[in-house]
């Protein structure tokens, strides 16, 4: 199988409703539109089948979880096959009774499950109570092979950790892919703080692109979710960064379907002139496995 050098990617950014059936149809519509735009890969937002339920701790919300494979992966697989695209979806996985994960699943162009990634870094912050719902991933930082190349799939909070991006790169990832759900609390974040947060979110991922000479593809949702006093305004701004951190495409705060072309061969060219891999001092990195160096 010959994998093309240029990969056209589509990033779906939209608001999610309280109705999972409606949200799934929205995802399927974006997959179809991505295929019509000539995309070979489409990335959906984090936990796109549901509202962002982690704003509160409620045992009844575990009913939103589903098995993989399961009903949603069957519908997504059909859509991937019909559109001829690779789909990176993000689901609340029910692995067993009392065992749940925040899982990205990759459907190949033939509708088969190419692989899955279970979110490794689980936040526990005000309005992001994910540790209550999700068991940390146990599949490691392992890229997923698809018909369009090897994808380093990570999820949201993972995007703040350079170690995760580096380990995916060291394992041969050709793209870094991040489904996300992140936003502001308008009750506590003023305009200056909102700007700083958004700039930091994009800036850290731009650094992953540069440090690894890999393109980065990131989705986010939009819209306001939650109850009065605990609302999150998801800031959107999904993007595609090239392997030098250049912006290939970026959305605003409204629904959008971004499309961008990525030349995979630029990674090889850049690593020849900026040989970060060659010059890593792996003999001196042992302290990275310590929590803190006292």
What are the tens digits of pLDDT across the range 44-72?
A: 999 999 999 999 999 999 999 999 999 99
On whether the CB atoms of residues 176 and 168 are closer than 8 A, the answer is yes
Query: Any catalytic annotation for residue 46?
Result: yes
pLDDT at 240: 98
pLDDT at 179: 98
pLDDT at 46: 98
Distances (CA, A) of 235 to 108, 109, 238, 252, 291: 29, 30, 9, 8, 31
Task: Kindly name the residue from 46, 93, 130, 174 that is annotated as catalytic.
Answer: 46
Say what the pTM is.
0.96
pLDDT at 230: 79
pLDDT at 227: 78
Task: Kindly name the residue from 54, 130, 156, 174 that is annotated as catalytic.
Answer: 156
Residue tagged 């009913």 (tokens): 63
Query: Any catalytic annotation for residue 119?
Result: yes
Q: How confident is the model over 250-265, as pLDDT tens digits?
A: 999 999 999 999 999 9
Give domain 6-289's CATH superfamily: Carbon-nitrogen hydrolase (3.60.110.10)
Long-range contacts of 227-233 (CB under 8 A, 24+ apart): 227/55, 229/187, 230/55, 230/56, 230/127, 231/185, 231/186, 231/187, 232/52, 232/55, 232/127, 232/183, 232/184, 232/185, 233/183, 233/184, 233/185, 233/186
Determine the distance from the C-alpha atom of residue 43 to the mean position of all C-alpha atoms in its chain, rounded to a whole number: 7
Those residues with Cβ within 8 angstroms of residue 202's Cβ, 6 or more apart along the chain or in another chain: 237, 239
**All structural domains of the chain with their residue ranges:** 6-289
The β-bridge partners of 152 are 176
Mean pLDDT by 10 residues, the chain (294 residues): 88 97 98 98 98 96 97 98 98 98 98 98 95 98 97 98 98 98 93 97 98 98 87 97 98 98 97 97 95 91
Task: Kindly name the residue from 16, 54, 93, 119 that is annotated as catalytic.
Answer: 119
Query: Any catalytic annotation for residue 66?
Result: no
pLDDT at 38: 98
The β-bridge partners of 102 are 92
């Amino acid at each position: 199988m010959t994998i093309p050098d240029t990969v056209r990617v589509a990033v779906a950014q939209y608001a999610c409703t309280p109705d999972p059936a409606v949200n799934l149809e929205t995802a399927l519509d974006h997959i179809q539109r991505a295929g019509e735009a000539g995309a070979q890969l489409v990335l959906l937002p984090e936990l796109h089948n549901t509202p962002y339920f982690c704003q509160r701790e409620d045992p009844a919300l575990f009913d939103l979880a589903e098995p993989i494979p399961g009903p949603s992966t069957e519908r997504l697989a059909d859509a991937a096959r019909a559109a001829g695209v690779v789909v990176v979806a993000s689901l609340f996985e029910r692995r067993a009774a009392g065992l749940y994960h925040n899982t990205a699943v990759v459907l190949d162009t033939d509708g088969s499950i190419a692989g899955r990634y279970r979110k490794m870094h689980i936040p526990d912050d005000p309005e992001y109570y994910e540790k209550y719902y999700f068991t940390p991933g146990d599949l490691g930082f392992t890229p997923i092979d698809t018909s369009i190349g090897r994808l380093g799939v990570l999820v949201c909070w993972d995007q703040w950790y350079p170690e995760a991006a580096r380990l995916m790169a060291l394992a041969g990832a050709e793209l870094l892919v991040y489904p996300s759900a992140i936003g502001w609390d308008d009750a506590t974040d003023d305009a200056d703080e909102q700007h700083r947060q958004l700039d930091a979110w994009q800036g850290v991922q731009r650094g992953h692109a540069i440090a690894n000479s890999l393109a980065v593809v990131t989705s986010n949702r939009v819209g306001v979710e939650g109850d009065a006093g605990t609302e999150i305004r998801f800031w959107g701004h999904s993007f595609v960064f090239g392997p030098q951190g250049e912006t290939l495409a970026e959305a605003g705060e409204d629904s959008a379907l971004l499309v961008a072309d990525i030349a995979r061969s630029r990674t090889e060219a850049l690593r020849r002139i900026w040989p970060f891999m060659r010059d890593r001092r792996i003999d001196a990195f042992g302290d990275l496995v310590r929590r803190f160096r006292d």
